[in-house]
A and B are shown apart, each in its own frame.
Chain A
Amino acid sequence: MPAISIAKAPQPAATNPAQIRNFCIIAHIDHGKSTLADRMLQITEVVEARNMRAQYLDRMDIERERGITIKSQAVRLPWRSGLDGQEYILNMIDTPGHVDFTYEVSRSLAACEGAVLLVDCAQGIEAQTLANLYLAMENNLTIIPVLNKIDLPNAQPEKFAAELAGLIGCKVEDVLRVSGKTGDGVADLLDQIISQIPAPVGDPEAPARALIFDSVYDSYRGVVTYVRVVDGRISPREQIQMFSTGVKHEALEVGVISPEPLPSKGLGVGEVGYLITGVKDVRQSRVGDTITNFARPTKNPLGGYKDPKPMVFSGLFPLDGADFPVLRDALEKLQLNDAALVYEPESSAALGFGFRCGFLGLLHMEIVRERLEREAKLNLISTAPNVVYRVTMEDGKEFVVTNPSEFPDGKINSVKEPIVKSTILAPAEFIGAIMELCQERRGVLLGMDYISEDRVEIRYTLPLAEIVFDFFDQLKSRTRGYASLDYEELGDEEGNLVKVDILLQGEAVDAFSAIVHRDKAYTYGVMMTGKLRELIPRQQFEVPIQAAIGSRIIARESIRAIRKDVLAKCYGGDISRKRKLLEKQKEGKKRMKMVGRVEVPQEAFVAALATDADIAKIKAARKLES
């Protein structure tokens, strides 16, 4: 067996860089990255067979359940090459696979010399994988194309091998074929990683430079920082410094992941591992930052560091107002592990007290919400997500709007919104459907290419706000799930945007204000007033529901006055039943929100804000209960 026991393998801080290979796996969700990683752990014998479990490296329940990697990590794998019989150390750096985490992906890539491009040979490459592939190529990584799941009956390895060869400019025969499930071809893949990917190069005598490619909060150990050493060396008990902030820390522990943390005497040139400094907040140990020696600091940081910038904002409110402190504590805790999450308190007439939160994107938002609900056992309602608008008034004043209810009144000169360049990959038969959707969403076609005989890459610029509003769901449903989407920021552009308010008996309900394109204001108004008419119970007076831009009403519905609210029968046993019902309703009253004189059950607001996906989730939960 080409596996080498960890004890006999080259040791951290004492490994010749020529023996090291650093690689990552670029793959789409479901294309089998975690399963392939499992097989690598198994055949290199770093995990004993009896300790093996599926998706070994995915730590959070959410990761395991949803099959997506949110945070990356790195595993040190000793391996004796079947080609030259020499011992090597392979560092596999796991990367997140979603557009929201492009920055984190780019830092993981920067820590590697090569990438395994893993594609499901029943599905072909997806847009996000393609985007990450381009990112890897820009970083001059050696790409090893691999088709996975060759054991599947509907595999089409010839077709997709040709597709990959076309994309990266290699020969069809160079595309490896593996099965993460059966382990077929995995040993050969490890040998190819060694022979094709260059060894890391660095100066062992220079001041230390190590790239932070991940930073994870652990409740026992504080922040665990994952690094790739470029030059010099990092040793335990040594004073280190974060380049961006200049803050000094002591490296309490340095080690490698194998795949459990294993303290070492240090990390040398080209090595990948972790360090623990005792800081409690990932924002003090930021992804992309350079770590250097405090005593002998570098003058040249590694390039590419950026502050994470939230792109999507939404209000998060506890369904039960009494849970507000629980939500606050849970957000605080989550932020320790999520440098990209920002929030500030917000109060809404309709939904009570909550937080305005900023996210990298929709998936990030969903994950945060899910973790809050799961880990803090909260029931949350979120307002419709929106992007950041830059509003310039006629008097030259500027506002940055992350919450529609803060959209300024008065004479507006211009409103700018973020624009993205999006790439959609899909079978050619859906070109029409995709173009129609992008046109509806104010898209501008940039170009279209065939990546294989029946698959196309379509590029559009789109306002991010349009993508944030159920674009992905629509894309999936109009292409029967075949299309995939990726996008990148292109900057801000002026748009004909207005704020639509929803008024209940003349009073604006803050949670429903939205910033939309003028052409869509009417549709939004009709949709929202109609929804509320269905959801708000009849009152003893007629209640008008209006949609308005400023003082101009663009849509109107009304809830007719209630005419019947009585149970006809009230005899013997009915009396206590009825009284108990009254007592129960009295409790329910507390959950009523008053908008002016109108009494609205909180459920009505919740239902009006729910997306189709939320409703499906609620229905599924009910089904489970019954």
Chain B
Amino acid sequence: MLSFYVHIPYCVRRCGYCDFNTYTPAELQDGATLEIVSGDYIDAVLKELAAAPLDQVPTIFFGGGTPSLLPPKDLGRVISAIKERNGVSEDCEITLEANPDSVTQEKLDQLIAAGFNRISFGMQSSNPEVLKVLDRTHNPENVRKAVDMARAAGFSSVSVDLIYGSPGESLADWAATIKEALSLDIDHISAYALIVEEGTKLAAQIKRGEYTVPDDDLMADMYLLIDQQCLQKGLKWYELSNWSRAGHQCRHNIAYWKSDNWWGLGPGAHSHIDSKRFWNVKHPNAYKEKVFAGDSPIKDFELLTDDQRKSEYIMLALRMPEGVKKAALTVAQYERTMEYIKSGHVIEKHDSLALTPKGRLIADRLTHEMLR
């Protein structure tokens, strides 16, 4: 089995908090229309695809950037090529990340026709002030329309992404966003605490003192609030930042967390095949040049040692409700967690150790503690 991630490195404009590998089409090919840029880019992706293994495919995920910016027929070319070459499982999950502003009913219908069955909208917040701080362009009202249109088009899973802990956001603001999100016709939520990345516009604004970041205590309260609200509406956590109705977990992401095999297509995309992790050159133009010249776009790789694989297992498993199998821990590692069981951060199950909501909030520390 081999999952595919397809990176679409284009956005209409870059949001203030974003440090992803994305560009506006004009930055890359001056004067070219989106159609030309898109067509070229997909040609490159299909060329790279020729190097991937031929295993059957359980999930495909188009992320970005803003994949919904590209014409559905171009995205469809990638899906068709994978289907033809590898074959996909019957229940293959095919996800598109979408900006609520860049979809229309017609486009959503075309996406379904191209083979997509899951869509994830970047909602971020229902609060216009928060969206302004994040430098997002969409109108919060468009989210409801987009979700409804996606349902009408026939998407079987619909998700929204939320961001909490933006400068100036209060717990009440966040509660309102959660309420709005949970009133939508969705079956999945991803919610991320805002990370202010070095080099972003937002980081500069904070450095200049225009904004102040909320403290960790407020962030912790915000996390506990969404966890509790989701649970009340029947969405259960299946990863630290992800909640869903039964049967609607994102199987593509679970593949990451269970260290299955996956191939990332596109500039900067990472892959994991057995014990090898590798990643492509970052800039789209460099990527295209390499691929069209017949060279591998792989920039570098690492072969994981057994120790590193164990570390990754603990790091990832702690983020999921099943937790870490006790059998995978050394006696010393197990003993170090006893203190956290007493303090209510960890619960001991029959054959595993898992995190309580309070424990999830310090998951990195616990991982660190177990691995030291």
Tell me the A332-373 residues at the B interface (CB within 8 Å).
none
Please give, as numbers and ranges, the residues of chain A lying within 8 Å of B219 by CB-CB distance: 564
Q: Which residue of A lies closest to B164 (CB)?
A: A568
Would A565 and B364 be within 8 Å (CB), given that A576-B270, A576-B277 are in contact? yes
Interface membership of B296, Cβ < 8 A: no
Q: Within the complex, what minimum Cβ distance (angstroms) separates A590 from chain B?
A: 10
Interface membership of A169, Cβ < 8 A: no
Tell me the B267-285 residues at the A interface (CB within 8 Å).
268-270, 272, 277, 279
Interface membership of A569, Cβ < 8 A: yes
Interface membership of B334, Cβ < 8 A: no
Q: Within the complex, what minimum Cβ distance (angstroms) separates B102 from chain A?
A: 22
Would A576 and B339 be within 8 Å (CB), given that A566-B364, A582-B368, A589-B372 are in contact? no
Instruction: Choose among A541, A560, A570, A589 the residue that contacts B319 (Cβ–Cβ < 8 A).
Output: A570
B362 pairs with A540, CB closer than 8 A: yes
Please give, as numbers and ranges, the residues of chain B lying within 8 Å of A564 by CB-CB distance: 193, 216-217, 219-220, 223, 361-362
Q: Which residue of A lies closest to B367 (CB)?
A: A582
B268 pairs with A573, CB closer than 8 A: yes
Q: How many residues of B contact A (CB 8 A)?
A: 46
B268 pairs with A585, CB closer than 8 A: no
Would A566 and B362 be within 8 Å (CB), given that A540-B345, A576-B270 are in contact? yes
0 or 1 for each of B114-141: is its CB under 8 Å from A? (1 = yes): 0000000000000000000000000000
Q: Which size bracket describes the interface of A in this complex?
A: 20 to 34
Bound CA–CA A576/B219 (angstroms) = 25
B316 pairs with A575, CB closer than 8 A: yes
Interface membership of A567, Cβ < 8 A: yes
Interface membership of A571, Cβ < 8 A: yes
Instruction: Choose among A563, A571, A573 the residue that contacts B279 (Cβ–Cβ < 8 A).
Output: A573
Would A571 and B256 be within 8 Å (CB), given that A540-B339, A576-B277, A582-B371 are in contact? yes
A570 pairs with B316, CB closer than 8 A: yes
Q: Within the complex, what minimum Cβ distance (angstroms) separates B52 from chain A?
A: 15
Q: Which residue of B lies closest to A590 (CB)?
A: B372
Bound CA–CA A370/B71 (angstroms) = 66
A578 pairs with B315, CB closer than 8 A: yes
Would A566 and B340 be within 8 Å (CB), given that A582-B371, A586-B372 are in contact? no
Interface membership of B360, Cβ < 8 A: yes
Please give, as numbers and ranges, the residues of chain A lying within 8 Å of B262 by CB-CB distance: 572
B371 pairs with A586, CB closer than 8 A: yes
Q: Within the complex, what minimum Cβ distance (angstroms) separates A534 from chain B?
A: 14
B365 pairs with A541, CB closer than 8 A: no
Please give, as numbers and ranges, the residues of chain B lying within 8 Å of A582 by CB-CB distance: 311, 315, 367-368, 371
A568 pairs with B193, CB closer than 8 A: yes
Tell me the B47-75 residues at the A interface (CB within 8 Å).
none
Tell me the B11-45 residues at the A interface (CB within 8 Å).
none
19 additional A-B residue pairs with CB within 8 Å, beyond A572-B5, A575-B315: A540-B339, A540-B365, A564-B193, A564-B216, A564-B223, A564-B361, A565-B363, A566-B361, A566-B363, A566-B364, A568-B191, A568-B192, A570-B240, A570-B256, A570-B319, A571-B253, A572-B256, A573-B268, A582-B315
19 A–B contacts, CB within 8 A, in A order: A540-B340, A564-B193, A565-B364, A566-B240, A566-B362, A568-B195, A570-B256, A570-B319, A572-B5, A572-B264, A572-B272, A573-B268, A573-B279, A575-B277, A575-B312, A575-B315, A578-B315, A582-B315, A586-B368
Closest CB pairs A-B (n = 5): A563-B220, A573-B270, A568-B192, A565-B365, A564-B216
Q: Which residues of A contact B (CB under 8 A)?
A: 540-541, 560, 562-573, 575-576, 578-579, 582-583, 585-586, 589
